[in-house]
């Protein structure tokens, strides 16, 4: 993504903040996994959204109208010895030259410099509560400024939730963001298709998970957006099953929920297909029902509709179908009212998607479901889960978990299914696996 995109975002935020304000946003440090080994570092999404800066131990400060520059980056200094061991650092020079900072300071000087940046600033934009240690430091800096009030220095009097402003911005994807999300979606879609093509009875769940990572990494996506879920048969009924340890059996379905991350943007796809490449009659009936629900839900992803409309459409189709197949009893009206479907479909039909797989952004405004608007991206992922031993359910339905998940962008017109490249009709799946 180009530096101009990050600059545009900072401008937009500073426009909302107004003069006499300051925004402070840290990214994390590295976390020890075990002695001398760290977990792979992933920058804080909000921080990366505004800076494009992917190193640990950094703090962004925005000071609208500051004469010596509005965008200040505190980061690690260049250090040939440390870089020899641990890799390249942009340093203060790089922060300015490559990331557009107006000013850059060593992260170790934060306590010394930050109080001065709070002087004469009435409003502080900061996400309180996400990092208690940093909250404490900020409150110390504010106290230091207030202690100088007799010298005529005035400090902040108002604190505002930076995350609230940023998360609303992040909900509306720009053209540049959509293009990165499209790429992540395409890579994941290709990987899912390869898994479908190569799956055979006797393989292990972890082998499909490994193949998914392999395909993504071979195409340049180093990271997954979340740990892959590969559940054969009954395992698919555990919603966040990540053990991926069992063998895939002839006659079972397998559910794969996996997506890669590109430039810190997520994709999130689920497909369910027969391990041996052919649906049996019961699998076919339940699968067709979930697919019908998913298509009905996707058709509701249109501007002016409410966030909840796709979910309501899916629930209606699923309930009707469950009644028809005999998994539920009674009338449609009663079954909808009592939410009887929830026994077999216990999650929502989707979530916002962006830099975080369960992305930020409010689903309700003033207690009312939000309207969909162009630029929003969400997943549509209805499912049906019938575990082995489910009481009062015919044997033929048991041991099946089915979910079909696509990533969909709201446009002025038709829903834009970013993940459309993975087959999902029974004909397409059986043809690919034949
Ligand atoms: N992969 C997590 C989800 O689908 O929400
Ligand atoms: Mn998913
Ligand atoms: Mn999802």
Is position 368 annotated as part of the catalytic site? no
- C-beta separation of 361 from 168 below 8 A: yes
Rg (CA), the chain: 25
Atom of ligand 1 nearest to the CA of 347: 5
* 311 contacts: CB under 8 Å, gap ≥ 6: 297, 348, 349, 350
pLDDT in tens, 190-206: 999 999 999 999 999 99
Report the C-alpha gap between 274 and 252 in whole angstroms.
6
Is position 268 annotated as part of the catalytic site? yes
Mean pLDDT of all residues in 249-259 = 98
Residue nearest to ligand 1 atom 4, measured at CA? 268
pTM here is 0.96
Q: Tell me the percentage of the chain whose pLDDT exceeds 70.
A: 100
Is position 168 annotated as part of the catalytic site? no
| 27 pLDDT more than 90 | yes
Atom of ligand 1 nearest to the CA of 270: 4
Spell out where 313-367 has E strands. 364-365
- Length of the chain measured in residues: 434
Mean pLDDT of all residues in 341-355 = 97
| 154 pLDDT more than 90 | no
Mean pLDDT estimate for the chain: 97
Q: 54: CA distance to ligand 1 center in Å?
A: 24
Report the C-alpha gap between 23 and 43 in whole angstroms.
18
Q: 296: CA distance to ligand 1 center in Å?
A: 20
CB atoms closer than 10 angstroms to residue 399:
21
| 152 pLDDT more than 90 | no
CATH 3.90.230.10 location in the chain: 172-433
- C-beta separation of 272 from 382 below 8 A: no
Residue nearest to ligand 1 atom 5, measured at CA? 358
Report the C-alpha gap between 294 and 248 in whole angstroms.
26
Is position 348 annotated as part of the catalytic site? no
Is position 167 annotated as part of the catalytic site? no
Report residues whose beta carbon is within 6 angstroms of any ligand 1 atom. 226, 257, 268, 351, 357, 381, 405
Mean pLDDT of all residues in 135-144 = 96
pLDDT band, residue 252 (cuts 50/70/90): very high
Is position 403 annotated as part of the catalytic site? yes
Q: Looking at the CA of 408, name the nearest ligand.
A: 3
Fold of 172-433: Creatine Amidinohydrolase (3.90.230)
Report the C-alpha gap between 170 and 34 in whole angstroms.
34
Is position 111 annotated as part of the catalytic site? no
CATH 3.40.350.10 location in the chain: 3-170
Annotated active-site residue in 351, 356, 359, 406: 351
- CATH superfamily for 3-170 is Creatinase/prolidase N-terminal domain (3.40.350.10)
Atom of ligand 1 nearest to the CA of 225: 1
| 56 pLDDT more than 90 | yes
| 10 pLDDT more than 90 | yes
DSSP 104: E
Atom of ligand 1 nearest to the CA of 229: 1
The encoded tokens of residue 133 equal 């240690």
| 155 pLDDT more than 90 | no
β-bridge mates for residue 424, sequence order: none
CA angle 74, 78, 80 (to 5 degrees): 160
Q: Tell me the percentage of the chain whose pLDDT exceeds 90.
A: 96
Report the C-alpha gap between 22 and 120 in whole angstroms.
10
More confident residue, 36 or 327: 327
| 220 pLDDT more than 90 | yes
Range from 9-13, 28-32, 34-38 that averages highest in pLDDT: 9-13
pLDDT band, residue 153 (cuts 50/70/90): confident
Q: 197: CA distance to ligand 1 center in Å?
A: 23
Report the C-alpha gap between 383 and 10 in whole angstroms.
39
Burial of 407 (0-12, 13-18, 19+ CB in 10 A): buried
Mean pLDDT of all residues in 322-348 = 97
Mean pLDDT of all residues in 285-299 = 98
HSE on the CB side for 127, CA within 13 Å?
A: 18
Annotated active-site residue in 103, 381, 406, 407: 381
Which of these, 90, 91, 28, 103, lies nearest to 63 by C-alpha position? 103
Q: 254: CA distance to ligand 2 center in Å?
A: 14
Annotated active-site residue in 70, 103, 257, 356: 257
| 149 pLDDT more than 90 | no
Spell out where 289-367 has E strands. 364-365
pLDDT in tens, 89-108: 999 999 999 999 999 999 99
pLDDT at 11: 98
3-state SS assignment for residue 291: helix
């Amino acid at each position: 993504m180009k530096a101009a995109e990050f600059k545009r975002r900072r401008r937009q935020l500073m426009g909302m903040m107004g003069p006499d304000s300051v925004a402070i946003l840290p990214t994390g440090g590295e976390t020890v996994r075990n002695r001398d080994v760290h977990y792979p570092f992933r920058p804080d999404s909000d921080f990366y959204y505004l800076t494009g800066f992917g190193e640990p131990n950094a703090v962004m400060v925005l000071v609208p109208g500051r004469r010596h520059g509005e965008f200040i980056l505190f980061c690690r200094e260049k250090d040939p010895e440390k870089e020899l061991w641990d890799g390249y650092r942009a340093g203060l020079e790089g922060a300015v030259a490559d990331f557009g900072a107006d000013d850059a300071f060593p992260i170790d000087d934060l306590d010394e410099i930050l109080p001065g940046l709070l002087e004469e600033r009435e409003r502080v934009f900061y996400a309180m509560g996400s990092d208690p240690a940093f909250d404490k430091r900020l409150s110390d800096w504010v106290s230091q400024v207030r202690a100088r009030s007799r010298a005529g220095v005035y400090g902040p009097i108002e604190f505002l939730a930076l995350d609230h402003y940023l998360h609303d911005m992040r909900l509306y994807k720009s053209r540049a963001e959509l293009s990165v999300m499209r790429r992540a979606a395409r890579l994941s879609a290709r990987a899912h298709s390869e898994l479908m093509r190569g799956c055979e009875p006797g393989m292990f769940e972890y082998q499909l998970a490994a193949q998914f990572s392999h395909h993504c990494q071979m195409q340049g996506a180093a990271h997954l957006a979340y740990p892959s879920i590969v559940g054969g048969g009954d395992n698919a009924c555990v919603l966040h099953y990540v053990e991926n340890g069992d063998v895939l059996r002839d006659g079972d379905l397998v559910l794969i929920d996996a997506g890669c991350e590109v430039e810190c943007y997520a994709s999130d796809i689920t497909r369910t297909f027969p391990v041996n490449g052919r649906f049996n009659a019961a699998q076919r009936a339940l699968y067709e029902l979930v697919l019908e629900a998913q298509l009905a839900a996707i058709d509701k992803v249109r501007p002016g509709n409410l966030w909840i409309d796709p979910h309501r459409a899916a629930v209606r189709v699923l309930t009707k179908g469950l009644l028809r197949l005999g998994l539920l009893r009674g009338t449609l009206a009663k079954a909808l009212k009592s939410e009887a479907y929830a026994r077999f479909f216990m999650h929502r039909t989707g979530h916002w998607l962006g830099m975080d797989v369960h992305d930020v952004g409010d689903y309700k405004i003033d207690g009312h479901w939000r309207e969909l608007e162009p630029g929003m991206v969400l997943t549509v992922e209805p499912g049906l889960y019938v575990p082995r031993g489910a009481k009062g359910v015919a044997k033929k339905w048991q041991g099946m978990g089915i979910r079909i998940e696509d990533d969909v962008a709201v446009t002025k017109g038709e829903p834009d299914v970013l993940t459309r490249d993975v087959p999902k009709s029974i004909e397409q799946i059986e043809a690919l696996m034949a």
